[in-house]
Chains A and B, each alone.
Chain A
Amino acid sequence: LKCTEKYVYYLSFQSKSDIISTVEFNHTGELLATGDKGGRVVIFQREQESKNQIHRRGEYNVYSTFQSHEPEFDYLKSLEIEEKINKIRWLPQQNAAYFLLSTNDKTVKLWKVSERDKRPEGYNLKDEEGRLRDPATITTLRVPVLRPMDLMVEATPRRVFANAHTYHINSISVNSDYETYMSADDLRINLWNFEITNQSFNIVDIKPANMEELTEVITAAEFHPHHCNTFVYSSSKGTIRLCDMRASALCDRHTKFFEEPEDPSNRSFFSEIISSISDVKFSHSGRYIMTRDYLTVKVWDLNMENRPIETYQVHDYLRSKLCSLYENDCIFDKFECVWNGSDSVIMTGSYNNFFRMFDRNTKRDVTLEASRENSKPRAILKPRKVCVGGKRRKDEISVDSLDFSKKILHTAWHPSENIIAVAATNNLYIFQDKVN
């Protein structure tokens, strides 16, 4: 499906208070989870398509909401630990319940989301309100039966994986064996077994003996989608390391090292900062990895380490504004990137509530905007354009008019269909491709 397929506004949700900090579809696309800065997780479920309305897709409605993390206080350092949800990752569904991992800066939790539509009735020792009966009054015994009730969706924390990270967790990734997962912070990556919460294995440690020598941190990490022994992690210096856990217990020595040599003509004070990789994602096929740095998205072939096979400019017009962006901290914004289900289109966010899609096959790209103004029923999203030079055409927006507080950092793509979820501050937009 081409990326210039028209996208239609579908629906949006607004949080009353908080900025959305992560968005993730589950493996079937039936569920969409969002985490926010207040530590809450909201799960949307796609309605089953009814037979009468075959031509209309199922829509997403709120399925469950729960408070995943609470703010904590580190007494040793006299600092708050934010409850903001950094990442959510779904486990593949193995029974009727859904499981997801959610993490803040320090603690990972495994949540079970299950439905309850039956209730046991007819207890012997309790009456219908739950009050205890006087055993002396019980003359007969009966077997409690399950009776239907209104559907209730409950979320319960099944595991809490705490106290394993000194630094801030930036990534979690479920392994393809579905038994282990990893959590990565700025300097270390730990491997966990889902069943064991009081132990984790440290598989990467880049902390120098002398912290004053620290010049590089881990920014993102992910397991290979098919090979349970392989994972990658990216760094603040623009490098990606692929590691094989079979090689040694501590994967400090990489198996592959991906780095593009610097372009000397583009060199500036900010070269290092803009080369810092904010997100790394394996393609669904497992053949490629995609990385996002401040100005570009790059696709790498796992078999070629010396340079990416594709580079896409997200907002190159910001290159001359780097000093301002450094001053107002925007240069440190961590944009994420996503693949579509067939790995043919990639998407990432930008400023002014713009997000960009790149079609890898046709090499065409489009800029779209997630905004209320565009959100009319079935409104087709109009491609946007940022004007760089002198003359500004009617619909273009000039670089100096961009709103840098409206940034799209988090997006998600349905695993098999062209449905995308875009988080714009505290609004969640869901767009789908046009259905005729």
Chain B
Amino acid sequence: MTFQVAYNILLLQAILPHRFFSCVSMGIKTRVSLDSRLSPSYPEFFERIKPQSPKGSFVGYMLGKGGKRKFDEHEDGLEGKIMSPCDGPSKVSYTLQRQTIFNISLMKLYNHRPLTEPSLQKTVLINNMLRRIQEELKQEGSLRPVFTPSSQPTTEPSDSYREAPPAFSHLASPSAHPCDLGSTTPLEACLTPASLLEDDDDTFCTPQAMQPAAPTKLSPPALPPEKDSFSSALDEIEELCPTSTSAEAAAAATDSAKGTSTEASAQKLEGPQESRADDSKLMDSLPGNFEIMTSTGFLTDLTLDDILFADIDTSMYDFDPCTSTSGTASKMAPVSADDLLKTLAPYSSQPVAPSQPFKMDLTELDHIMEVLVGS
């Protein structure tokens, strides 16, 4: 069997004039169609921060536009004024950057429908990226309602975005502290009443609505942009993937566990031991399947939890009587049962026994979660 010569020889040297070589006239064909030039948006976005008009649209359209949401666009008054020196464009741009990368990572995992098996290395690297971001978000989420003044390093993020994240957790903790000073009612500020969970996603976008009793409560400036982006990210994620609700309980439990790990982790977040310890908790909730990368629920359960529970004081789940499903002993700042009772009393019609309202609300929350997530 003869094989057709696959290559045409193109010899341009004149040293062998006695041979004749045919010239190749075909242009270069590639099967790969890439955007061969870098999209100009990213360099611009990361180098020059520009204002941007639509509030929540940046997330889904990050690929085309760059921009930064200014504080006074949606979080006016309080938020804008209270911007402390430690936060600033660097923190916000870092958050935006992180959110962008988060979305890109999700899209990579779930929009891709290859005929051949996707590269495991690529999948693992994207997953690791998502996990790191999620862990950061969790830490930030857990820090907001609870600020245990601990020996956090107080080095402030420098102005350039590039130096902003010297350590992933490094940034989250200092930002929380200077702003959360002396809040008296952390729970009221952060606890989302169960009834409100049934409402529109907009609830999450307007923290003021959730904190009627705490005008002086200062969420870290990172909070509002995150919520906003969370809601749009939430929409995106809901579009993309089905989820299961089995993860929420475990996720919520791990949320509280994160609170402790933050303090310990002034160093690199991605130290293998640490990530492994975290991962072991997180992994219970991840039904990811590396063998066959299908789109079902790889990290989305955790993602949604993170988004939805970001502002919810998970100390609710800390009470032993009601954490039968979530096993991990949690550690948040000690919360007085009275505070909880006060907040929850309006929602339960029965006379309140210490443990009962929590159980009820747990199941109620689970039910609401299911509805929201649309499983």
Contacts and interface: CB of A to CB of B under 8 A. Distances in A.
A321 B292 CA distance: 31
Nearest to A56: B15
17 contacts: A13-B10, A14-B8, A14-B10, A16-B6, A36-B6, A42-B7, A67-B3, A166-B291, A211-B288, A211-B289, A236-B121, A272-B128, A272-B132, A321-B38, A332-B121, A402-B38, A404-B34
Among A14, A36, A56, A405, the one with the most B-chain Cβ atoms within 10 Å of its Cβ is: A14
Given A211-B288, A425-B30, A168 B15 contact: no
Contacts, number: 204
Contact of B40 (A67, A330, A400): A400
Contacts of B6: 15-18, 36, 40, 42, 65
B97 A82 contact: no
Given A212-B288, A324-B39, A405-B30, A14 B24 contact: yes
Interface string B113-152: 0111101111011011100110000000000000000000
Interface string A71-93: 00010010111100000000000
Interface stretch (B228-236, B279-287, B351-359): B279-287
Listed from nearest, the 4 A-B pairs whose CB atoms lie closest are A405-B36, A324-B42, A211-B290, A13-B7
Interface string A265-278: 10111101100100
A273 B129 contact: yes
A271 to B, nearest CB: 8
A38 B128 CA distance: 32
**B interface secondary structure, majority:** loop
B10 A12 contact: yes
Q: How large is the interface on A (under 10, 10 to 19, 20 to 34, 35 or more residues)?
A: 35 or more
Contacts of B286: 212
A269 B101 CA distance: 8
A142 to B, nearest CB: 29
Nearest to A155: B3
B244 to A, nearest CB: 14
Contacts of B270: 272
A324 to B, nearest CB: 4
B30 A375 contact: no
Contacts of B34: 328-330, 404-405
Contact of B12 (A11, A276, A330, A400): A11
A19 B29 CA distance: 8
A329 B166 CA distance: 25
Contacts of A268: 162, 165
B30 A426 contact: yes
Interface in A173-198: 186-187
Interface of B: 3-16, 24, 26, 28-43, 45-47, 63, 97-98, 100-101, 104, 108, 114-117, 119-122, 124-125, 127-129, 132-133, 162-163, 165-167, 268, 270, 275-276, 279-280, 283, 286-292
Contacts of A272: 125, 128-129, 132, 270
B43 A320 contact: yes
A352 to B, nearest CB: 9
Contacts of A19: 30-32
Given A13-B7, A400-B43, A404-B38, 4 more contacts: A62-B9, A65-B7, A268-B162, A276-B125
A272 B133 CA distance: 13
A49 B66 CA distance: 60
A369 to B, nearest CB: 14
A268 B100 CA distance: 14
